[in-house]
A = this chain, B = another copy of it.
């Protein structure tokens, strides 16, 4: 069994953003030389997500508005977590909706994807350096 590990680093200049990381995951898979197996891609921070959906800017605007409705950033005083001095409680909630991780099949050395699947990093508390882990196992 082979295993391969790669960190992807981000410093998103805004509080929230969606970043298409499919090319970086594909590049890691090439370097791993794994032909059959699984790829785990996960946020290493608890106010960010990795998810698979459509690379369409209107949809991303819909996600932004929808998540803000489900877990508003303000007033920050509505959250007990923010009594610790943070203002990011909403980011911890948004991340649960969008998820921490995806697991993708590797078949014939490629991400085994349907026609529109793309991998995104979802940042909900940006303006700092944060990481995504890519772990590949297989043969």
Contact = CB atoms under 8 A, between A and B. Distances in A.
A59 interface: yes
Chain copies in the assembly?
A: 3
B133 A112 contact: yes
A71 B71 CA distance: 14
Interface of A: 1, 3, 5, 36-38, 40, 42-46, 51-54, 56, 58-59, 61-63, 66, 70-71, 79-84, 89, 92-93, 95-105, 107, 112-117, 131, 133, 135, 137-139
A77 B71 CA distance: 22
A105 B46 contact: no
Contacts of A116: 45-46
Given A92-B53, A103-B40, A133-B112, A1 B45 contact: no
B84 A51 contact: no
B53 A95 contact: yes
